[in-house]
Structure formats: C-alpha cells, structure tokens
Structure 1
Amino acid sequence: MTTPGDKKDSGDQDCKSRTAKRKASPEKKTPIKRRRVADQAGPSTSSDVVKGVKRKVVQDEEGTTKKAKRAKLLDHMSGDEEQASSSLDSGKGEFQARYVEEHQLGEGGCGAVFAGYRIEDRFPVAIKHIPKNKVYCKVADESGKKLSVEVAIMLKLAGEAEGSVGISAPVSLLEWFDIGKELILVLERPVPAVDLQKYKAEKGRTLPEDKAKVILKQLVDAVKELEDKHIFHRDIKGENILIETGSDVPRVRIIDFGLSCFVKQRSLYRIFYGTPLHTPPEWYRRSCYRCGPTTVWQMGVVLYEALHARDFSTERFLAKKLSIKKRLSAGCRNFLEACLTTVPEKRPTLEELQLHPWLR
C-alpha cells in the first residue's frame, strides 16, 4: 500500500512528465484561462549528448575498415527506415482513403480535433490529431509494446461495448492510425450536439435546476460505469461533456480521454493532470489525490457551473469567495455541498451520489 511519504507515484508510473509534482499553494493566483496541466507544459525530457571522438581506422582480418563496416550498417538502416516510411505513408493513405477531414472543432493540451465524415456512408466523425510528444502517459499492451493510454482506454471501452456506437456515454473510438510523429483517432461525432459550456450559454448562462438534474444524473451514472471499469477520466468538466440536442431530453456524452488512466486498487496520484481551476483541495493540502473523491469533486464543479453564471475556482471556493445560491432547493444544495466537501474522506462515493434523493 502506498503512503503519502512514498517517493514514487503509485498511479502514474508510466507517465513521462513530472513537471507538476511540486506542491501547489492555495495562496498563489491561478490563471483565469481554463487550461489543463498538459496545456501549460509538456513533459520535460533530456537527451544524452554523444561527443564525437576521432578514432584510428583499423583494418580487420579481411581488410575491411571499420568505417566501411559502419557505412554498410548505415545502408541497412537506411533500408529499414525506407520500409518504415513506406508503412507510415500507407497508413496515412489508408486514412485519407476512408475519411474526409473538415473544419477544426477545438484544440487542447493533447491535440487538435476536426470535424469530418466517413466516405463510405458519410457517417459524421471527429478526427483527433495527437502529436507523439504530447502523449504524456503510456501503458504496455499484451505484446509489451508501449501504447498511448488514451488509445488503450478507448480500445477497452470499444471492446466492451462492441456494436454499441451511439449508445454508450463515452463517445466510441472507430479506428486509429499511427503515422509516425502523430496518432490519428477517428471518433464518433454526435450530431447535433454542443459541449455543456455552450449549451449553458445558449440557455442564458445558467440552467434551471430541473435541466441540471437531468444532466447530472446521466453524468454520475456514466462516471460510475467508468470507475467500475477501472478508468479514471481525470478531467470531467463542461468542455468535455457533450450534450446531444436532437430530442426533448438532453443526452450526455463524455469526450477527451487524453489525461485519463487505468486505476489500480487504492491508487494514489502525486502528479496532477487536469484543469488547475478544478484541482481538488487535497492536492493543495496533501499533494496527492484519489480517483473516487476527485471525480465526486468534479461532479460538484460541473453542477456548480451549470447553476451559477461564473466559472468555478477551487482556490476562490476555499477562500469563501464563491457561494452556493440560496434559492436552490434543499436537495440540490445538499447534493452540491456533499460533492464540494473539502475533506475527501467525507465526500460521498459515486454509488452514494446515484442514490441521493435529489437525483431520484
């Protein structure tokens, strides 16, 4: 069992970045821009410097110089590189033969997303381009090869929900391509749909309590299902929640698993990935956080922003500069206050939230 004094992070052992490891302070001013940690700085990397050393040319028994041998080896390497390049070109050609890419939908710390459609049947898709230097976390697949955690998680979700495109709360991964310096993920694109931030803006900056309840009930069920599958999204917020608007009842879809990870039993995380404005209080006080309590805190943040015409900030909330509307129903206030309990052990579990009277 990992304790706060352990040096190594039990939840993020495969993550390259260690830039967010130092303890945050609630007194420091947080930028207003809603950025994720991955937006602020990529992983710090170092490369070994190999100094050039002149070496005496020595002939072997066959009279071949080491320089000649090295040239021969480079010729073989060049051939391998040509084969790899051909494979990458083939992957890119395969993508272009199947999909048409259109206008950009958005951009975050892990890549840019474009609208598009599948040529075969004009099925709408979202096309996400992820530079490999922004793949912050990796996991070993069955063959031992390192794979982007985002791809691994979406493959797991797709495998467990085979044939259910458009049914599961997380949007489905349809196909993915590795084309050298970047990954291309082809994802389901619900139409018509807008993210929760835009949905709220279209409704006059805040949602009526009854509409917020419909969204929160679906969202809690969705993240509980992820937790049951040992998946921690880590960045549930308005921009990562799509609202399908094609029917009278808004439907919740979850997007952007770029900062997500697989959860081991009692995993404790000491590297913060997510939106700094929404950092759970325990990160400030203990420099660590867990999946369940953090996700419950995010439920509170989402609900707070849905019902209030302002962005949430953990620092401002802890400083009592943000307050919960008194005109909300007693049940809604109780749900919100429970989610935003500053001590993580005192927050309800996701299962307890599902049974909360306000959602029933």
Structure 2
Amino acid sequence: MALQDPTDYLPDPNVLEPMALQDLSDHQPDPNVLEPMALQEPADSPEHPQFGSSDPDRDPDASKKTAVVGPSVLVPAGLQDPADPLPGPSALDPVAPKFPGASKHRRIGDQTRFRAACFTDPTPVPFDEIYEVGEEIGEGGFGTVYEGISKFLHEQVAIKFIPKCETDWYIEIPGCSKPLFAEVAVNLLLKRPPLSPYIVHMLEWFEEEDRYILILEYPQPCKDLLKFMVNNVQRVNESQTRSLMYQAVLGAKHCLDRGVFHRDIKLNNFVINTTTNQIKLIDFGCSDLVKTSGYLGDFTGGVCPPEYYRDLKYEAGPTTVWSLGIMMYTMVCRCQPFNSLEDTMHSSLSFNVRVSTEFQDLISRCLTYQPTERATVEEILQHEWFQQGHISEGAQDQGVTGSSDGQE
C-alpha cells in the first residue's frame, strides 16, 4: 500500500545529504474520504519554510526537556531543553530578549522602560522604524512571512504579517490584564523560561490598525523537514530518524508542558539547520490552549486522528502523539502510513522497507486506533527504540524523568 514519492530514490542508509526546501500544501481532511498522499513538492511551493499561520485554548500536562546527540552526527552535542514548570496561575515570565530591536530603539528615542519580562503589550515603536522587510519566504491561510533585518542589531529575523479579521480568536493567559490575539498568546506561553531549543520563538510583536506583526527567530541556514526528505535521494535510516525525531518529540512535549496544543505537527512545520542538524517546530497559527475537556467540531490542522472521523472529537495529547507517529513512519518509509480512511479507522499498518521490531512497535503504539490506548509523549521518549544507544546518556536522563505534575 506504499504511496510513492515522485522523486527517484537511490537508497543509501549511510548517507543523508543536505538539500533544498520544499513544502506541501496544507491538506484539509474530508471526514468521508482520506486521499493517499505521497511525499512530493507542490507546484507552487515557496523557496523557504513558512514560520507562521493561525487559529487557537488549554490545560497543561507536564514534564522536562533535554539534550540530544546521536552518533550519526545528525544532532549537535549539547542541545538542551531544561526543566519545564507548568504555567503558574499568576505569572507569565517570558525570557528577556537578547534581541529586541524595540528595546534598543526605546533606549535611543523613547524613555519608556522596556518591559522585557512580559511582552504582553505590543511594541509601541512603529514597526518600520525598527525592521526592514525583505523577500517573501512563505504564505499560509492566516498570514505571510518575509525575511527581515533589525535596523539596530543587524540580525536576520522572520516577520509574519497577519491581517485582522472578524473571526480572530483572543485568549486570556496568566499575567496578562486582557485577552490577547491567540497566536501571540501561545507564543508568550512558550516564551516562559527555560526556553526549548526545539521551537522557533517569537522575539516581539506589533499591533497595527489592520494587522498583527510577529517577529520570529530565523535559523540559518535552514530548510523545512519535508523538503529535506523529498529532495534527498537517499532514504533516511532509522538511526538518523531517531536523532531527528527525538528533537521533534521534545519540541512537541514542550508545547504540551506549557499548555499549548500545536495541532498541526507535520514534516513541513519543522525546520532543520543544515549545519548542525538541529530541528525546530514552527507555525503556531493553528494552535490552541490545551483543554482537559478536549475539542469538538471542526479540526484546524493537517493530521486528523481517527477519533475525529468517528466522533468529531479529539484531545491534545493523543492527537499530538498520532501526528508524531505519522511523521516517524513517513521519514523512514517515505510515504503515508494509511492509504484510505478505512485503513486509518482500522489502523492497518504495513511497512514498505525493512525496519526494526522496536520501530514497528513504537509506530504501532503511536498510531493505535483508541486514543486512550495510544502512547503518551513521555512513553515515546522512554520507548526502547529511543534507548538504543543513539541518544546521549544526559539527554536520556533529562528527557524521560519528567513527571505529570511538571516536577522532578
């Protein structure tokens, strides 16, 4: 049942060549038909990864993050995502930016003290006095992203423009006196220290009469992970997949620990630094706060779990795990795991390449039909497949010791 990628493959499990970015148009699932999807380049894909798009609600899980290093040299040593406390009922303390052009600008032309500790208010200085806008690098259903540069720090950033509309969602978060535009709110939750190195963070934001402007990190050199996979004529082997997916799982776990449901985890919503092979989660346009009661109705995101088709209901944790399972399978097999809606509803899995028993078991745990029987993010990190010697001992210790209350 393998879905074929139009690219010709010359499998070589020992080589992973860096390559150019590509993107897949967001797939909006039809509850009646699940079209087979091969890994492929869309006809009109932009050259660069899209760093943001939109829609957002919550209730935290908890645990800790980590460093990851693999002998395959896919992941640099020392990537660490330290302990992650749950969002407290009274404090939202985003990290003071190393960056903000606004901070420097205010010291120059504005005596107002820069409130780096919170960022709950938009930067009061006019956007065009601080940043120059470059070429477009991505466009989605909720916004358009451009390269940009700080006029004061002369550093590259990604700039996302989001037009205001009547359907905009606003969220109340701890430490803020009023509801905030949803995509800004979830970015602020993720900005609380300690930061995760596996997420592209918002540096600051602006509000204008007809739009919001988000200033985002812009890792360089980077490519989105889907394009990285599609353009690579050699298959990514299990060892390489393990190193990349460990980081992806930590990024997803950090979101849940902060009470953020990304809701659109897929290959082209991760970027890979082609020098260090570090990956980061991008695009929080479909995000919501984690709700203990779950979500009912329309699914805003790219990868629907089977419970959505069955009940039109889904939850943050099990849906995140389902999406991670789809990612893992696709990276190794270079095709989608399910050929039809019927296959999805029966969790009919097969593998078109030779993979280890441990890998098959982990994929099966992530893609279990019943959400209550699916692995948790913590169980993924503790699974034998991730413990086979390709993750550093320090990474293992930090990555799997988190408890459900966010304390060690």
CA contact (8 A) 2:164 2:210 kept: yes
Secondary structure of residue in 2 paired with 1:183: strand
Q: Distance in 1 between matches of 2:179 and 2:35?
A: 34
Conserved? CA contact 1:111–1:134, under 8 Å? no
Rounded Cα–Cα distance in structure 1 between residues aligned with 2:146 and 2:296: 33
In the alignment, the residues of structure 1 paired with residue 348 and residue 168 of structure 2 have an alpha-carbon distance, to the nearest angstrom, of: 34
CA distance in 2, matches of 1:211, 1:135: 42
8 A Cα contact 2:347 2:368, kept in partner:
no
**Contact kept in structure 2, 1:100 and 1:117, CA below 8 Å:** yes
**Aligned residue number for residue 149 of structure 1:** 182
**2:344 counterpart of 1:315:** no
Structure 1 counterpart of 2:171:
139
How far 1:274 sits from its partner (Å)? 3.6
Task: Identify if the C-alpha distance between structure 1 residues 216 and 274 changes in structure 2 by more than 3 Å, giving closer, same or farther.
Answer: farther
Question: In structure 2, what is the equivalent of residue 198 of structure 1?
Answer: 227
Q: Distance in 1 between matches of 2:324 and 2:315?
A: 14
Q: Does 1:186 align with 2:215?
A: yes
The answer (yes or no) to whether the contact 2:318–2:371 under 8 Å persists in 1 is: yes
SS in 2 for 1:105: strand
Tell me which residue corresponds to 1:216: 245
Give the letter aligned to residue 272 of structure 2: I
Give 1:28 deviation, angstroms.
Answer: 2.8
3-state SS, counterpart of residue 133 of structure 1: coil
8 Å Cα contact 1:101-1:117 kept in structure 2: yes
Distance 2:166 2:273 in 1: 29
Aligned-residue RMSD, C-alpha:
3.1
Output one character per residue of 1:217-257: Cα deviation in whole Å (capped at 9) or x when no partner.
1111221222111111110111111111222xx11201111
Which residue, out of 351, 355, 366, partners 1:328? Answer: 355
In structure 2, the gaps of 5 or more residues are 1-28, 43-52, 56-121, 388-408
Taking structure 1 as reference, are residues 101 and 206 closer, same or farther at Cα in structure 2, changes over 3 Å only? farther
Q: Comparing 178-187 with 299-308, which one deviates more in the overlay?
A: 299-308
CA displacement at 1:149 relative to structure 2: 1.4
TM-superposed CA distance for 1:170, in Å, is: 1.3
Superposed displacement of residue 267, structure 1: 2.7
Q: What is the aligned residue count?
A: 279
- Separation in 2, partners of 1:216, 1:280: 19
Larger Rg: 1
Deviation at 1:24, TM superposition (A): 5.9
Match of 2:283 in 1: 256
Tell me if structure 1 keeps the 8 A contact 2:147–2:159.
yes
Aligned to 1:158: 191
Q: 2:329 aligns with which of 304, 307, 310?
A: 304
CA 1:140–1:193 in structure 2 vs 1: closer, same or farther (change >3 Å)?
same
TM-score normalised per structure 2: 0.62
The equivalent position to 1:288 in structure 2, one of 308, 313, 316, is 313
Distance 1:138 1:203 in 2: 41
Alignment counterpart, residue 299 of structure 2, candidates 250, 273, 276: 273
Q: Given that residues 157 and 217 in structure 2 are in contact (C-alpha distance below 8 angstroms), is that contact kept between their aligned partners in structure 1?
A: yes
* SS of corresponding position for 2:375: coil
Q: For the Cα contact (< 8 Å) 2:205–2:215, is it kept in 1?
A: yes
What is the CA–CA distance in structure 1 between the aligned matches of 2:325 and 2:124, rounded to whole Å? Answer: 42
Are the structure 2 counterparts of residues 124 and 113 from structure 1 closer, same or farther at C-alpha, using a change threshold of 3 Å? Answer: same
User: Which amino acid in the other structure matches residue 283 of structure 1?
Assistant: Y
Distance 2:386 2:324 in 1: 13
More helix by share: 1
Per the normalisation by structure 1, the TM-score is 0.69
The 1:93/1:275 distance shift into structure 2, 3 A limit, reads same
Q: Counterparts of 1:50-69 in structure 2 under 5 Å?
A: none
Tell me: CA distance 1:203–1:238, structure 2 relative to 1, closer, same or farther (3 Å). Answer: same
CA distance in 2 between counterparts of 1:175 and 1:352 reads 34
Deviation of 1:191 (Å): 0.3
Specify whether residues 282 and 124 from structure 1 end up closer, same or farther in structure 2 by C-alpha distance, changes over 3 A only: same
1:245 maps to what in 2?
274
**Residues 237, 99 of structure 1: CA spacing in aligned structure 2 closer, same or farther, 3 A cutoff?**
same
Letter of the structure 1 residue corresponding to residue 358 of structure 2: G
Q: 1:351 deviation in Å?
A: 0.8
User: What is the aligned partner in structure 2 of residue 123 from structure 1?
Assistant: 155
Higher relative CO (Cα under 8 Å, sequence separation at least 6) belongs to: 2
1:335-350, aligned counterparts within 5 Å?
Answer: 335-350=362-377
1:260 to partner: Cα distance: 0.8
Matched, 1:28 2:33: yes
Q: Distance in 2 between matches of 1:181 and 1:153?
A: 21
**Residue type of the alignment partner of 1:118:** S
Question: Identity over aligned residues, as a percent?
Answer: 32
Q: Contact conserved, 2:146 with 2:160, CA < 8 A, in 1?
A: yes
Supply the distance in 1 between the matched residues of 2:205 and 2:131 (Cα, whole angstroms). 12
Please state how far the C-alpha of 1:320 moved relative to its aligned partner: 7.3
Distance 1:146 1:30, change over 3 A: farther
| 3-state DSSP of counterpart to 1:106 | strand
CA distance in 2 between counterparts of 1:173 and 1:134 reads 24
Closer, same or farther in 2 for the Cα pair 1:176/1:312, shift >3 Å? farther
1:355 CA displacement: 0.2
Correspondence for 2:380: 353
Q: Are the aligned partners of 2:307 and 2:371 in contact in 1 as well (CA < 8 Å)?
A: yes
1:251 maps to amino acid = Q
Does 2:142 match 1:110?
Answer: yes
Could you list the runs of 5+ residues in structure 1 that have no partner in the other structure? 1-22, 43-89
3-state SS in 2 of match to 1:214:
helix
